[in-house]
A and B are shown apart, each in its own frame.
Chain A
């Protein structure tokens, strides 16, 4: 079962709100990723977790705060976002991290609108 789940599917928030995006996988994968995707553009990597430790932060603004409570879960905490942060947020996982041939499996995404 190559399934990554994400909640919520849609989220509308104001610029002063705090919200969290959740991602879960039960494939025993040890690497998890957050991506941001704008319309008609490819996904952009935000964060990489490997064995529950943050290994890559692609210079993401601090209003985005990732968290990996355990090997199956990945959260993205949102605070004081800007309208330009509106996008599709994708979570992905892979068996390991750092190996060139590892396939990443994507969740369905959370479509975020910041008002």
Chain B
């Protein structure tokens, strides 16, 4: 089992849609998690941190299920500008970040 696994995508959704991405992780000792967003040919940028059961920031909601070792990211009322690759990231010892393969989202008019 990979350390971090994500839905491969791509997800093609219309503007205004609600879309959810899933991520599973293998290390049950992991305490915190991140969602990064990466636009084409740009650097990853932190979208949300998740330390407890979940986190909400405007249209974005991240949920954590420790028992199932599962993290999700929900985007409501999708905008064209939400088109990007979303990376599920699990910190590991020594400052390493374990990245999922990323889920590509394309929001269409």
A interface residues (Cβ-Cβ under 8 A, vs B) = 31, 33, 41-43, 45, 48, 50, 55-56, 88, 90, 94, 97-109, 111
Contact = CB atoms under 8 A, between A and B. Distances in A.
Contact of B43 (A42, A50, A90, A100): A90
A98 B92 CA distance: 8
Interface of B: 30-32, 34, 41-46, 49, 51, 87, 91-97, 99-102
A55 B31 contact: no
A88 B102 CA distance: 16
B101 A31 contact: no
20 contacts: A41-B101, A42-B87, A43-B44, A43-B97, A45-B97, A48-B94, A55-B95, A90-B44, A94-B95, A98-B93, A98-B94, A99-B95, A100-B30, A101-B32, A103-B34, A104-B46, A104-B97, A106-B44, A107-B43, A111-B41
A24 to B, nearest CB: 14
A50 B34 contact: no
Contacts of A106: 43-45
B32 to A, nearest CB: 4
